[in-house]
Amino acid sequence: MRLRYSFRLYPNGPQRSALARAFGCARVVYNDALRTREDARAAGLPFVSSAVLSTAVTAAKSTPQRAWLAEVSAVVLQQSLRDLDTAYRNFFDGLKGKRPRMGAPRFKSRKDNRHTVRFTANARWKITPGGDLSLPKIGDV
């Protein structure tokens, strides 16, 4: 049985910036993974697996250019990679006729206002006794 919760959040100033950071990091990881797969396809290389992309994200967190990826929960970044896998699966299933045809995955825009992140049970989010939602590396919202 799968359970899903949706919450309407009303963050304060610091929480708002932490959520914006999480949205931005998820977008960057998604776009980097999509670029890696597209470059491999253009070069005639085999499809890049999720495990390779995950290790690339982990390695990118230790570089000075992408050290800011470590400021958000790792679960958010992994779910972004999972979203890309779902987009590719839907695209390929559409080509095979298993579902209606869908376009290839596209890059996420910084100017789009549809920002989402997912926290799984592994992220250790919880509802506090005061009724707040406690999110990792963001705080009680």
pLDDT at 28 over 70: yes
Does pLDDT of 3 surpass 90? no
Domain span at residue 132?
A: 13-103+117-140
Q: Do the bridges between strand 133-135 and strand 139-140 make them parallel or antiparallel, or are there none, so unpaired?
A: antiparallel
Tell me which of 105 and 122 has the higher pLDDT.
105
- Is it the case that residue 112 has pLDDT exceeding 70? yes
Q: Given this model, what pLDDT does residue 85 score? A: 93
User: Is 3 part of any domain?
Assistant: no
- Does some domain include residue 86? yes
Answer yes or no: is 98 within a domain: yes
Residue 88, in any domain of the structure: yes
Q: If pLDDT is split at 50, 70 and 90, which confidence band does 27 have?
A: very high
**2, pLDDT greater than 80:** no
Residue 53 lies in a domain: yes
Residue 59, in any domain of the structure = yes
Q: How far apart are CA 106 and CA 136, in angstroms?
A: 28
Task: Please give the Cα distance from 78 to 88 (Å, whole number).
Answer: 16
pLDDT at 89: 92
3-state secondary structure the chain: CCCCCCCCCCCCHHHHHHHHHHHHHHHHHHHHHHHHHHHHHHCCCCCCCHHHHHHHHHHHHCCCCCHHHHHCCHHHHHHHHHHHHHHHHHHHHHHHCCCCCCCCCCCCCCCCCCCCCCCCHHHCCEECCCCCEEECCCEEC
pTM of the model: 0.88
Q: Give the total number of structural domains in the chain.
A: 1
Note whether 66 and 25 are within 8 A (CB): no
pLDDT digits (tens, 9 = 90+) for 32-51: 999 999 999 999 999 899 99
Residue 79 forms part of a structural domain: yes
In a domain, 130, yes or no: yes
Question: 125-136 pLDDT, tens per residue?
Answer: 888 888 888 888
Q: Which pLDDT does position 1 carry in this prediction?
A: 66
